[in-house]
Structure 1
């Protein structure tokens, strides 16, 4: 059952490389690799053209102490779509949300905690640093932007100088875009299901939002309790990781 979930996260300096390994199920996360169905990257600078891991290592090393080394869109994907359709939808989503910024993504599809229903979702990591055609070494890429002499500073951050109101508007626009692209993909695939980026109250629905149980609580539930809860939710799985 298609359902809408989208959140934006930030990773502080020193966490980007580890998170990239996590979404790609590399290193100590290799044992969780059975849920990884696709990964890709793009828009990397010349010094990391074929090595996104180097880009995130340099972000961890050279980004400002109080700066975000990466940001991430975490997005639930419709489980009505097969793998090729999920990949095509993801590529459209990346083009619309990321533009020319450096990115790396992974699609995970674990079974839901409460029912054995595939739970595909997207981890889309990206840098807020905007390429501007100037070739920079890694340390310069992540330094402070110099508006008067751009070649002497780092790449400008996309969120730099925006007010809270402008940032909020950007999030709403992203959510609208994600819902629109998912509904397009569902329609193209011949499915009747649709998603809605709006809150329940904005949709005029009285149902209270579901309470997230969390992995620990789900593990403590009996098989019967899981079945009852899953049936109450209409078989809809949680997001997972």
Structure 2
């Protein structure tokens, strides 16, 4: 799987470095620094697949590697001079060795032509102990423009300090453009050779990918590990950073899980509260219904009582020929009819209320008195009937 990587760094005397040493290490050769007399011998270095010097297309100067970088050191006099700039790029594993070399050299040629600089392209194979897909190229460029058989002024377009001082803070700079161009060129070659893999120069966040970017040890840390056989300080820092990130991720995961549990608890509690509110509403409604029934029963009982009182005290005196039993039946029927027409609570047991009223001691006495009157009335009616019958017999005899 092709991955994107392009990083740029400055080779500066201020940090104790030189372009001659950097070039010798990357190309795996020996270079004597004519300015200091130091000999930088990396001829025993393994893993160098190719090393090419690239000059601007319009230049007639064809220096050797030794000549090129000693001329650079001679041009830059200051003790803190920035003598070279390196671009480190990851080469697609999908391409073969010849295709990777062509890609790296063509990219270096574009840099040389655009900025008028010289470039030293060294392609390194993956390390024996590392990822075997880690093909990469070190493109060491001059910080001065090529002029004749030497160098002229600095290339300010690639200087971040000059970019910011010129009002470019927060704006895309030339390094950003170079990063984008590398992705374009690599993808062109992948497409040209029939590979579907592509690389993207944008940040993982801009691509919508949720993971941490990969990290590289760099040449110094790698050399230390090869020489000592132990993990470099940079690798230890990486490992510690990874451990801290894992710990933070674990804590974040635990917090997320706790949050989910809390959210579920809140939802459950909300459901319990809602259920309790509904139950309370139902209980209140039942209580109100019960009270309404009680009030209806009391009111109905009072109406039955008044009806019975009227029947036993007034009806017999005001309605000639109406017997007590008939009067009571009519009165109770009238009360039931009025209750139905009034639309009172349908759950009221009218018969039970009527029985409760009739069972009261006062009502029992009144009903007993009505029964006595009923008995007297029946006796009187019987006597009248007897008298009527006797009278009829006498009339018949006379005839």
Give the equivalent residue in structure 1 for 2:186: 182
Among candidates 96, 101, 106, match of residue 82 of structure 1: 96
Among candidates 88, 112, 121, match of residue 105 of structure 1: 121
Residues 100-153 of structure 1: CA deviation (Å, up to 9, x unaligned): 3112111111236344x2421111111122235xx46x5xx4xxxxxxxxxxxx
Among candidates 56, 59, 62, match of residue 75 of structure 2: 62
The alpha-carbon deviation at position 91 of structure 1 amounts to 2.3
The alpha-carbon deviation at position 186 of structure 1 amounts to 0.8
Between the two proteins, the alignment pairs up a number of residues equal to: 199
- CA change 1:211–1:93 in 2 (3 A) is closer
**1:127 matches 2:142:** yes
Give the equivalent residue in structure 2 for 1:49: 62
Give the equivalent residue in structure 1 for 2:29: 26
Question: Helix, strand or coil: the match of 1:205?
Answer: coil
TM-score, length of structure 2 as denominator length? 0.45
Mapped contact 2:54–2:112 kept (Cα < 8 A): no
Give the equivalent residue in structure 2 for 1:201: 205
Mapped contact 1:112–1:119 kept (Cα < 8 A): no
What is the distance in 2 between the residues matched to 1:50 and 1:130?
14
- Relative to total residues, which structure has the larger helix share, 1 or 2? 2
Mapped contact 2:163–2:173 kept (Cα < 8 A): no
Mapped contact 1:102–1:126 kept (Cα < 8 A): yes
Give the ranges of 4+ consecutive aligned residues of structure 1 lying more than 3 Å apart after TM superposition. Answer: 111-115, 210-216
Give the equivalent residue in structure 2 for 1:38: 50
TM-score, length of structure 1 as denominator length? 0.72
The alpha-carbon deviation at position 42 of structure 1 amounts to 2.7
Mapped contact 1:111–1:118 kept (Cα < 8 A): no
Residues 137-192 of structure 1: CA deviation (Å, up to 9, x unaligned): x5xx4xxxxxxxxxxxxx12111683223795111100000001111111111111
What is the distance in 2 between the residues matched to 1:130 and 1:23?
22
- CA change 1:106–1:198 in 2 (3 A) is same
The alpha-carbon deviation at position 211 of structure 1 amounts to 5.2
Kindly report which structure 2 residues correspond to 1:90-239, keeping only aligned pairs within 5 A, or say none. 90-99=104-113, 100-111=116-127, 113-115=129-131, 117-132=132-147, 135=148, 141=151, 155-159=152-156, 162-164=162-164, 165=168, 168-210=172-214, 216=225
- CA change 1:39–1:158 in 2 (3 A) is same
The alpha-carbon deviation at position 67 of structure 1 amounts to 2.2
Give the equivalent residue in structure 2 for 1:73: 87
Question: Helix, strand or coil: the match of 1:119?
Answer: coil
Give the equivalent residue in structure 1 for 2:5: 5
The alpha-carbon deviation at position 75 of structure 1 amounts to 0.6
Mapped contact 1:56–1:69 kept (Cα < 8 A): no
Unaligned runs of 5+ in 2: 31-40, 232-399
Which stretch of the first structure deviates more once superposed, 2-11 or 54-63?
A: 54-63
What is the distance in 2 between the residues matched to 1:54 and 1:95?
19
Residues 36-74 of structure 1: CA deviation (Å, up to 9, x unaligned): 11111132877x633221221132233031321111111
Question: Helix, strand or coil: the match of 2:51?
Answer: strand
What is the distance in 2 between the residues matched to 1:206 and 1:163?
31
Which stretch of the first structure deviates more once superposed, 90-99 or 101-110?
A: 90-99
